[in-house]
Structure 1
């Protein structure tokens, strides 16, 4: 509305400054209506461009996309809800205490920083969905769940961890099935 009033004022000033005969009120009103229509049309076009309708994918579409990328899946119908549940194979990497634990405090801290950076990179690239340490001081140190299509890929990514390369951790990987899209609670 402010744009319309501003445009109308500018237009009126422009016409009043002309040496030629002044426009009639009727002409000014017609021009003002045209400007108003242009402004309204542009606002509608802008607002339509901003609003996007999100259409959720069907289980069938998700399954087709995953299969095309090489993931293993299966689905079943929940007897109680009659919902189709899509199961996807992930790979759970168990990080175990490695044979080389003699690093000094400074080296250990540097390896830990590199380890965390590696896990963050895996998450940012979409290769890992969740990682974390165990809360005790046992032989199992933590897990990472890889969201990749093959065991070979999960193994390669897990073994590129600086802690594994340094021998401070070992990796043990197992295929693991989970319902696609089910969040942690």
Structure 2
């Protein structure tokens, strides 16, 4: 079984390189185009089940793909970034370099934020739940952090070594069974757009 993790299209905050977490930011014009462009890939995958995070940017992406009544699961929300929500990535790198690098490695939690280990646990629970429910492949419209968490949990890749998926592009995990115990990476950045597209959390 395949679990296809599609990152939502680019948002206005992505353009500004601001961390979004649980906050909502509208898709940009380019983000809507990215979602529409991925529709042909979604059709080719022929998923048996489509789910999404319950945040606005993922639901909008799913609607643009043609899944108006997509099932939402809050376990697929982005990492809660606490007091860093809305902060710009360049500013954090410049003024909080060590904390930022530790955060990217899953070793630091901003105040009122969500610890990496707990985040990975909830994402893994969501993946295993929907694998058990589907009669075929699953398409999940999610966030960059969710994809990183899935890679950490099911492929054993440390978070600091995972480059964020391009907005509007997907990664594919191939599971041997519905238990969701082992996975192989089948594809990464599928449907990625031009190299100059913005890639940020």
TM-score range, shorter chain: under 0.3
Q: Which has the higher contact order (CA 8 A, sep 6+)?
A: 2
TM-score, normalising length: structure 2: 0.24
